[in-house]
């Protein structure tokens, strides 16, 4: 897949000295979130930055009538809510929800701003992170306009496999439990059509299910379905 999707994470804090890590630790506090609990909602004050230590977190946008589009699913080690330090806007425009039991390090916007002050390397990392995420959203936008649901779903599965996958023999397990509803929100479609597409792929022996998880049986076949060439 493209580099953008292949990189599992951008670790903002890599290459920091022990002293700096200690300093970071001091301004941080850890908090546990149950599975399915909300970390923030649209309209909430944008005054904290989060570092995901354990578990997975889903970032989505909501429509007035309760529909949802998911922008990204975050892995441990990733930072989020970073728009707090970048946007002038005071409130969140998306929802963050724990997909699994999760532990987060929470840093107040103010402390974080002070912390990155005079750490130009870190500031650059943040800038790169912003750029990286922008690029991902741009790709979602392109896909939405240029591709149909089968194509989008095939692409999604390939990307999820890169980001959250494990090789198991010659197969590849997407190691997150997602409902069809979740898949639908990741490709901007509905639960029903997504169910149908998933079953199409199953019938074509491109994927199979293990519990609530997808196993990719034929990466090549999926790529063909996604009209994606290496």
Partner DNA sequence: TGTTCTATGTAACTACACTTACATTTTTCG
Partner DNA sequence: CGAAAAATGTAAGTGTAGTTACATAGAACA
**Which residues, listed in sequence order, are joined to residue 173 by a DSSP beta bridge?**
166, 215
How many Å from the N-terminal Cα to the C-terminal Cα in the chain? 7
Closest alpha carbon to 110 in 128, 77, 84, 80: 84
228-to-28, 147, 188 alpha-carbon distances in Å = 42, 11, 19
Does 41 participate in binding its own copies (rule CB under 8 A)?
no
Which span (22-30, 43-51, 71-79, 188-196) binds DNA, by CB under 7 A? Answer: 188-196
Does 212 participate in binding DNA (rule CB under 7 A)?
yes
CB of 212 to DNA, least distance (A): 5
Which span (52-60, 127-135, 147-155, 220-228) binds DNA, by CB under 7 A? Answer: 147-155
Q: Cα separation of 12 and 125, whole Å?
A: 6
Q: Cα separation of 40 and 94, whole Å?
A: 8
Residue among 16, 27, 71, 106 that touches its own copies (CB under 8 A): 71
Which span (15-23, 96-104, 118-126, 193-201) binds its own copies, by CB under 8 A? Answer: 118-126
Does 66 participate in binding its own copies (rule CB under 8 A)?
no
* Closer of 14 and 63 to DNA (Cβ): 63
Whether 193 and 186 have beta carbons less than 8 Å apart is answered as no
CB of 94 to its own copies, least distance (A): 8
- Please give the DSSP secondary-structure letter assigned to residue 87: -
Cβ neighbours, 10 Å, residue 87:
12
R_g of the chain computed on alpha carbons = 18
117 binds, among its own copies, DNA, none (CB under 5 to 8 A by kind): its own copies
Tell me which residues in 131-150 interact with its own copies (CB under 8 A). 131-135, 137-138, 140-142, 144-146
Does 24 participate in binding its own copies (rule CB under 8 A)?
no
Does 179 participate in binding DNA (rule CB under 7 A)?
yes
116-to-26, 29, 109, 110, 125 alpha-carbon distances in Å = 14, 17, 11, 10, 10
Residue 70 CA neighbour count, 13 Å, CB half: 22
Residues that bind DNA (CB under 7 A): 148-150, 179-181, 188-193, 195-196, 198-199, 211-212
Residues that bind its own copies (CB under 8 A): 3-4, 61, 63, 67, 69, 71, 83, 86-89, 93-94, 117-118, 120, 123-124, 126-128, 130-135, 137-138, 140-142, 144-146, 188
């Amino acid at each position: 897949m493209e580099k953008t999707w292949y990189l599992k994470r951008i670790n903002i804090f890599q290459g920091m000295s022990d002293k700096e890590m200690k300093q970071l630790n001091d301004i941080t506090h850890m908090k546990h979130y149950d599975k399915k609990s909300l970390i923030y909602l649209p309209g909430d004050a944008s005054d904290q930055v989060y570092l995901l230590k354990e578990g997975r977190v889903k970032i989505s946008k909501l429509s007035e009538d309760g529909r949802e589009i998911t922008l990204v699913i975050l892995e441990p080690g990733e930072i989020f809510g970073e728009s707090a330090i970048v946007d002038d806007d005071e409130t969140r425009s998306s929802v963050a929800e724990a997909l699994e039991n999760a532990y987060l390090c929470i840093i107040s916007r103010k402390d974080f701003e002070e912390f990155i002050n005079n750490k130009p390397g870190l500031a650059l990392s943040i800038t790169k992170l912003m750029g990286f995420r922008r690029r991902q959203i741009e790709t979602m936008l392109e896909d939405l306009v240029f591709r149909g649901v089968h194509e989008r779903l095939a692409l999604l599965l390939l990307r999820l496999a890169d980001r959250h996958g494990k090789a198991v023999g010659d197969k590849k397990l997407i190691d997150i439990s997602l409902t069809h509803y979740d898949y639908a929100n990741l490709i901007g479609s509905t639960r029903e059509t997504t169910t149908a597409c998933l079953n199409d792929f199953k019938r074509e022996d491109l994927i199979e299910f293990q519990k609530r998880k997808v196993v990719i049986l034929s990466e090549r076949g999926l790529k063909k379905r996604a009209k994606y060439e290496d």
